[in-house]
Amino acid sequence: MGNDTKEVLGSIVQQRKGGSPFTSKSMLLAGALFLGSLGYWIAGPDKGATASWLSPAARATMALTGSYLGGYFIGWSARRAMKLTSLVAGIALAVIGLFVTWGLDGSTAESVVNSSTAWVGKNVEGAGRYLVALLPSATAAGVGGVLGFRRK
């Protein structure tokens, strides 16, 4: 390979390291397992097939990988929501600080921003707990949530 090809491939790899959850290897593996077990569960094997012993495991695999995927997306979206909330709150507090330096009273606006960010944080946490409670496997959802939250 030439140097130009290596540079192009290197830039593609750098671009793929972005924040998309669909570039994570664990996410891709869990998605493939989920779709494979779903297909196997729907189609079902023939009674005389050598892989007929996999039929009972297809539902369990679907539940585990589905819980992992759900937890992963909950963690990933919670991180995104927290980043966006903190960014908006930071900008609002900076604007309030600018108004205060000009001589305006910013205590009421500051209390509104603080209460709004606390409200958003509480609701994101509550929604995450509610959605995780709906998932069949709490352990798989917890692992997925942690890995999804860590995904930048």
Q: What is the mean pLDDT of each run of 10 residues along the chain (152 residues)?
A: 54 54 82 85 68 73 86 85 84 83 78 82 80 75 80 70
Q: Residue 18's pLDDT is what? A: 56
Q: Give the angle 145-149-152 at the CA atoms, nearest 5°.
A: 145
What predicted TM-score, i.e. pTM, was given to this entire model?
0.64
User: Is the residue at 145 inside a domain?
Assistant: yes
Expressed as residue numbers, the domain containing 146 is 24-43+52-150
**Of 22, 123, 23, residue with least CA distance to 82:** 123
Q: How far apart are the C-alpha atoms of 129 and 113, rounded to whole Å?
A: 24
**What is the domain count for the chain?**
1
Q: Residue 2's pLDDT is what? A: 52
User: Is the residue at 93 inside a domain?
Assistant: yes
User: Is the residue at 10 inside a domain?
Assistant: no
Q: Residue 135's pLDDT is what? A: 73
